[in-house]
């Protein structure tokens, strides 16, 4: 990281970013072409959980190259200044790398969906329609590395 003064090392705050972020942007590299997809997610035990249809571009890309980069941020704030170059942004973010895999077994889907539901305001475990479970899968990002940054007064 070039700006060590912005590096976020407090693991409590890093955990908060993982847990309170709403959108994860996943970057794929396919045939020397970059692709990025924003998704809702849940976080648990150093893994990101994503709900997905069983077919489509994401699934094809995962099968071609499961190595990914991801980005998560908390809501930011633009800080204005007297002159244009005095403006800045208050933010907290994480950029990481990992491998993404497809979970297609019913019990794994249920566990992943519970994590996602709880991340977005639910509380507990849920009952899921068996037919709906058959038409979806869970994607799991095994986080291998990340850096966290912040700027501004928090």
Is 1's pLDDT higher than 90?
no
Q: Is 118 left (phi over 0), alpha (psi -120 to 50) or beta?
A: alpha
Q: Cα(120)–Cα(107) distance, rounded to whole angstroms? A: 20
Q: Cα(134)–Cα(152) distance, rounded to whole angstroms? A: 45
Please indicate, yes or no, whether the overall pTM of this predicted structure exceeds 0.85. Answer: yes
Each domain of the chain, given as residue ranges in start order, spans 4-151
Please give the average per-residue pLDDT across 63-86, as a whole number.
92
Of the candidate CATH numbers 2.30.110.10, 1.10.1270.20, 1.20.58.100, 1.20.1260.10, the domain formed by 4-151 belongs to 2.30.110.10
User: Is residue 59 classed as helix, strand or coil in its secondary structure?
Assistant: helix
pLDDT in tens, 97-128: 999 999 989 999 999 999 999 998 887 778 89
């Amino acid at each position: 990281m070039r700006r060590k003064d912005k590096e976020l090392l407090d693991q409590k705050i890093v955990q908060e970013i993982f847990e309170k972020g709403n959108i994860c942007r996943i970057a794929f590299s396919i045939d020397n072409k970059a692709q990025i997809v924003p998704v809702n997610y849940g976080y648990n035990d150093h893994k990101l959980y994503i709900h997905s249809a069983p077919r489509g571009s994401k699934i094809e890309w995962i099968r071609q190259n499961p190595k990914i980069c991801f980005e998560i941020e908390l809501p930011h704030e633009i800080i204005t200044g007297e002159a244009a170059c005095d403006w800045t942004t208050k933010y907290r973010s994480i950029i990481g790398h990992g491998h993404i895999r497809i979970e297609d077994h019913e019990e794994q889907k249920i566990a992943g969906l519970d994590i996602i539901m709880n991340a977005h305001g639910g509380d507990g475990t849920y009952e899921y329609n068996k037919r709906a479970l058959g038409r979806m899968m869970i994607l799991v990002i095994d986080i291998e590395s990340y850096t966290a940054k912040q700027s501004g007064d928090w």
